[in-house]
A and B are shown apart, each in its own frame.
Chain A
Amino acid sequence: MFDVLIIGGGVSGCCIARELSKRTWKVGLLEAEPDICEGTSKANSGIAHAGFDAKPGTLMAKLNVRGNALLEELAPKLDIPLKRNGALVLCFEEEGLPKLQELYDRGVINGVKNLKLLSGKEARELEPSISPEVKGALYAGDSGIVCPFGLTIAMAENAAENGVEFFRGYRVTGVEQGDNGIYRVSCDNGLVLETKVVINAAGVYSDRIHNMLPEKEGHMTMEIHPRKGEYCLYDKQAGNLVQHTIFQLPGAYGKGTLVTPTVHGNLLIGPTAEDVPEKNAVATTRAGVDKLLLNASRSVDKLPPTKQVITSFAGLRAHHADHDFIIEESAGYPGFIDVAGIESPGLTSAPAIGEYVAELVQEILPAALKENFKEVRKGIVTLEGKTLEEKKTIVSENPAYANIICRCESISEGEILAAIHRPVGATTLDGVKRRVRAGMGRCQGGFCSPKVVEILARELGIPVEEVRKSGEASVIIYGGVK
């Protein structure tokens, strides 16, 4: 019997897990995919939003600002890649300037610090590669960039170190409440777990989980609409185009496209916004990418050539018609907590969502703080950014670090072994990629993926035919040659 079961191993679920692991609850986390960070959390802008965008008074506004502050505090403790690069919201027409002022005012009400309205000239002085058309800009000093995988995985690892049990590859097929108030959560592989509290953090699928409990007063049917966003990621050679995250004022050109450096030094443009019928419809489209390139070229003077794009991808926002986070205990089902409608700024808000949910659980099922909670998590040792002397020490302590597997990102066997053998370790090719960036460079795994597959098979003790890219059906090899 669990005290709390979290359904969903995205950034919300993992942040909640880490926060809950501070107290004496017995906590489990169920993830449908073979790894955590497989849904919305893996494909988004990777921005630590300052918080001027959300409507004042909403939960979204509150958790955005709190989440951003928490990120700052947690990044060094959990080794989360975070950089405060600041953001600019560009306005291209004189008529748009009052809207910039509106954004500024909203930010002030939301409690955002370090906001400043700039003239076009001032904005260009700060960020020379933006378009000469810019008439004015809002500067947000508290905006940052964060690695969405790094954040989610750090939270999960720390949660696991503090006793949270992770069940990956367990798709929830049913949630029911017994007469004693205890919930029974069943999975597609036959596992049934009992728990006092259920946290529904299933992202775009959170409506399905919610609706598994029969409708009654205080528990109405929920609908989450997947809204697709497409992105293009450029080679690191293009990574220095801008220093700040460049937004556009939403206006005649539709919802703006951002242009931003990533925390690992690439350039990212995106997202589009398109409602899609399916909850896994993450295909990119020619029209979408063309639109992105056009929109982004409005922000910056000279967009790098498209041949420097190393990959395009799409993610789904878990959109709810109210456009606010829905984080509450169901009035009809005590002990069932929805964490739904977590769309942008969900990544930024996640640490605050964790805190907020933990408070809700504490009201339902009070528990004491653990004495031995480990609040510090060390990330995987990397060679990147180290001096020659430091590299020598790392390599002499662990010679596997001298065996480079991914040439593009200079990722060694040492890093890949760590990714596999850590708590909540990688079991798939994508899992390795998200933990240590092997295959994330300009050749996109052409050279290293066969080697990573081989290492995964060896370390997990399975045949290479059973190594997967991500999901159950994503086999890579079909057996031997004739």
Chain B
Amino acid sequence: MIRKSLVIIGGGPAGMAAALGAVENGLAPDEILILERDKRLGGILNQCIHNGFGLHTFKEELTGPEYAARYEAQIKAKKISYKLGTMVMSIRDGEEKEIIAMNGQEGILEIYAKAVILAMGCRERPRGALNIPGYRPAGIFSAGTAQYYVNMEGKLPGKEVVILGSGDIGLIMAHRMTLEGAKVKAVAELMPYSGGLKRNIVQCLQDFDIPLLLSHTVVDIHGKERVEGVTIAKVDEKSAPIPGTEKYYSCDTLLLSCGLIPENELSLGCGITLSPVTGGPVVNESLETNIPGVFACGNVLHVHDLVDFVSGEAKEAGERSAEYVRNLSAPEAEEGIPVLAENGVRYTVPATIRTQHMKESQTIRFRVGKEYRGVKVCVYLDNTLLRSIPKRTMAPGEMEKVVLLKKDLADRNVKSIRITVEE
């Protein structure tokens, strides 16, 4: 049996930054335990060998493994304990949080903690959830699986490739597979805009003359044993394929990059409320879930575009968890003020703010539901406009934020905070 103040589930960028945040805020390193299911720390960064990481955090351009290595070095320097190859099977709330985990060396572990940080990351949406008709041959991979094969195993999963979905991993794999000698024939995107970062569209597709087919989708998969081709069709405003627009692309591989889903099976198992929009836990200003002492950060909370923002958010979760452990006996704080996502804003993190626990400034992150040009993001306290921020462009693929100051809310009996998009 193991007893710790804080157990962090996941040793990727979120888990590592959370641990460092907790130490910075006074928690002893030996009171922390990180549980990582892979053979090394770093999570998905280990297979993201392209660069572009760290511009915000380190003011320089790093590859994924380099970015992870910097955090890993700090974890080791601070002597924060972690276990690798360790899979958490369940979390249970109680007087203490009970975590059942296991690994090949120690067998089954029963771990008790005062606080838990969820940092399990996300997974890719599989074909089934996309309802793509056709055969079910070999050669259909999620973009991340293909990335694993190429970058981690040094193996090529295909030679002639069509990619469905223009999420960042899909764009990066279009580039990566091309460099490895594969022919990427097209990237089809159901929406009239790409879900990926603009820089990736330019660097990964345009620089290699790979066509990006917006408002297109795969309507049939051919090949009984290995993929032999796909049929792509144009779609209307309701995303329904338009008859007569079908075009056949011969290929041996179909990569899917159609969105990421926070991996919250453990959270559900212990009774944590999830947001139907993000698929991640509903959290307050402290990134704390509906279960006191259980925090969430990174892609398990909501899918981020940049790892730098994951690290920032996770550091905060770590700091907040240290506070929680310190003030365990403090009385329950007041009900939070709901933060409402309205008119084009799909969700906000956090979803509630307790003014007592608020720092001097509070970042509210959100995403919009479609592309916007020349609009403003407005923050209302009840019906009073607090702030209006002009935005030249906004897109669903890029996470937005507004900052709320503690003094904005001081001496006002605010019932709700509303974030909206206005012309």
Task: Say if the beta carbon of A284 comes within 8 Å of chain B.
Answer: yes
Task: Say if the beta carbon of A481 comes within 8 Å of chain B.
Answer: yes
Closest to B123 in A: A443
Task: Say if the beta carbon of A291 comes within 8 Å of chain B.
Answer: no
Q: Which of A425-482 contact B (CB under 8 A)?
A: 429, 442-447, 449-450, 454, 464-465, 468-482
Contact among B123, B128, B226 for A447, CB-based, below 8 A: B123
- Stretch in A53-61, A209-217, A390-398 with 4+ CB within 8 Å of B: A390-398
Q: Give Cα distance in the complex from A308 to B123, angstroms.
A: 14
- Per the CB 8 Å criterion, the residue count for chain A at the interface is 58
Q: Are A395 and B107 in contact (CB under 8 A)?
A: yes
Task: Say if the beta carbon of A404 comes within 8 Å of chain B.
Answer: yes
Size bracket, chain B contacts? 35 or more
Task: Say if the beta carbon of B134 comes within 8 Å of chain A.
Answer: yes
What residues of chain A lie closer than 8 Å to B179, measured between beta carbons?
482
Q: Known: A450-B153, A464-B155, A471-B224. Contact between A284 and B134, CB under 8 A? A: yes
Closest to B146 in A: A450
Q: Known: A407-B37, A450-B153, A477-B157. Contact between A469 and B138, CB under 8 A? A: yes
Q: Give Cα distance in the complex from A312 to B130, angstroms.
A: 10
Q: Are A309 and B129 in contact (CB under 8 A)?
A: yes
Q: Give Cα distance in the complex from A407 to B128, angstroms.
A: 17
Q: Are A311 and B127 in contact (CB under 8 A)?
A: yes
> Closest CB-CB distance, A71 to chain B, in whole Å?
28
Task: Say if the beta carbon of A303 comes within 8 Å of chain B.
Answer: no
Q: Are B225 and A470 in contact (CB under 8 A)?
A: yes
Contact among A286, A450, A474 for B137, CB-based, below 8 A: A474
Task: Say if the beta carbon of A400 comes within 8 Å of chain B.
Answer: yes
Q: Are A400 and B127 in contact (CB under 8 A)?
A: no
Q: Interface on chain B toward A: helix, strand, loop, or mixed SS?
A: mixed
Q: Give Cα distance in the complex from A482 to B154, angstroms.
A: 9
- Stretch in B97-105, B202-210, B387-395, B406-414 with 4+ CB within 8 Å of A: B97-105
Q: Are B148 and A450 in contact (CB under 8 A)?
A: yes
Q: Give Cα distance in the complex from A476 to B145, angstroms.
A: 12
Q: Are B159 and A478 in contact (CB under 8 A)?
A: yes
Q: Are A444 and B127 in contact (CB under 8 A)?
A: yes
Q: Known: A283-B135, A446-B126, A474-B225. Contact between A482 and B108, CB under 8 A? A: no
Task: Say if the beta carbon of A356 comes within 8 Å of chain B.
Answer: no
Q: Are B226 and A480 in contact (CB under 8 A)?
A: no
13 pairs, A vs B, C-beta closer than 8 Å: A284-B134, A446-B141, A446-B142, A450-B153, A464-B153, A472-B225, A474-B225, A475-B226, A477-B149, A477-B156, A478-B157, A479-B156, A482-B181
On A, residues with C-beta under 8 Å from B are 233, 237, 280, 282-286, 288-289, 306-313, 388, 391-392, 395-396, 399-400, 402-404, 407-408, 410, 429, 442-447, 449-450, 454, 464-465, 468-482
Instruction: Give the top 7 A-B pairs by smallest Cβ distance, nearest first.
Output: A311-B128, A469-B138, A473-B225, A444-B126, A474-B138, A474-B225, A404-B87
Q: What 7 additional pairs, Cβ within 8 angstroms, besides A309-B128, A446-B124, A478-B157?
A: A307-B129, A309-B129, A399-B105, A399-B107, A443-B126, A474-B226, A480-B155
